[in-house]
Copies of this chain bind each other. A is one copy, B any other.
């Protein structure tokens, strides 16, 4: 950096300012410095900047897995939202394991990330306290935790389960199965579904636990097993669209008419859901939008220093800084021909 400063005939601090806060420098010197920068191919050492300023311009995110397209979409939205601002995305996969998440969070904190994005509302106690102590903005996504750490951008999985239950009941189905993973968000949806069915005479629910990450083959296998055992329900609500589509394909093979003999409903509204024959009923969730909303929430907060969610709560009455700390982006029942 000294080389650049010398070449431009200024001091290092001016170079620094041109590269970080151009508006603080006169246009003339700015031009000189920029010219020198280009000539030398100089690139700021962000690590040194991080050490000096305690701001890394890195935001970290933890998702259960990238294999699931829904999380990949959220990361894409987040990444897209962050890109124009110069913030960078550090990524970690927890494999649905809170301990792994804890390890990741630790490292991220050590890297002085400016903010952290988590999936879901279940975290180890140590993660919660460390994050609170760290004072950095935290966003939990993909659900609406009862006791959020800080901010939330999600939707109610419980409500989604209820909505599906009500839809299925309204269509006249009584013998209803759920098939999906045992992760927290699925559990919430099951709880919603169950609460609605339990309140209805004659309605029964059965849950098939499928290993997380099971995709098309798992859905097909379930239908095959049920069909062969002559133990078919009237409707199945799947934990994700891949499972549901796999089931649908298996039904096609076995001549099980959809929705006449079996109703199928998926979750997430992946792109293929609408393309299937028949088009798949599902729950549309704002995968990418959650990522984008998270990005803008974070950017806002990072731009307005000293305003954590708790601070905002404390100052209460002052409306300038107060902002809703939890964003419910909702979901939408996407009823098509399969149910």
Interface residues of A (CB under 8 A from B): 41, 43-48, 50-51, 56, 58, 65-67, 69, 72-73, 75-76, 79-80, 83, 86, 88-93, 106-112, 130, 215-217, 220, 242, 245-246, 249, 252-253, 271-272, 274-277
Contacts and interface: CB of A to CB of B under 8 A. Distances in A.
Nearest to A107: B88
A43 B109 contact: yes
Given A65-B76, A69-B69, A79-B92, A110 B246 contact: no
Given A66-B73, A272-B272, 10 more contacts: A45-B51, A47-B112, A65-B76, A67-B72, A67-B73, A67-B76, A89-B90, A89-B91, A215-B271, A220-B275
A112 B46 contact: yes
A91 B291 CA distance: 15
11 contacts: A44-B110, A46-B111, A47-B51, A51-B51, A65-B76, A66-B72, A66-B75, A79-B91, A80-B93, A90-B91, A246-B275
A176 B242 CA distance: 31
A253 B272 contact: no
A249 B276 contact: yes
B76 A88 contact: no
B242 A271 contact: yes
Contact of A41 (B108, B130, B252): B130
Copies in the complex: 2
A73 B67 CA distance: 6
Contacts of A86: 107
Contacts of A41: 130
Nearest to A75: B66
A56 B107 CA distance: 12
A67 B277 CA distance: 23
Given A89-B91, A277-B252, A46 B245 contact: no
Contacts of A65: 76
Contacts of A111: 46-47, 88
Given A76-B67, A275-B246, A43 B91 contact: no
Given A48-B51, A51-B51, A253-B277, A43 B110 contact: yes
A254 to B, nearest CB: 11
B217 A275 contact: yes
Contacts of A75: 66, 91
A75 B89 CA distance: 13
Closest 4 CB pairs of A and B: A47-B50, A216-B275, A66-B76, A72-B72
A76 to B, nearest CB: 4
Given A92-B79, A215-B271, A106 B47 contact: no
A135 to B, nearest CB: 14
A91 B93 contact: no
Given A86-B107, A130-B41, A246-B275, A76 B93 contact: yes
B79 A93 contact: yes
Contacts of A109: 43
Contacts of A51: 45, 47-48, 51
Which interface residue of A43, A217, A275 has the most chain B CB atoms within 10 A? A275
A88 B83 CA distance: 19
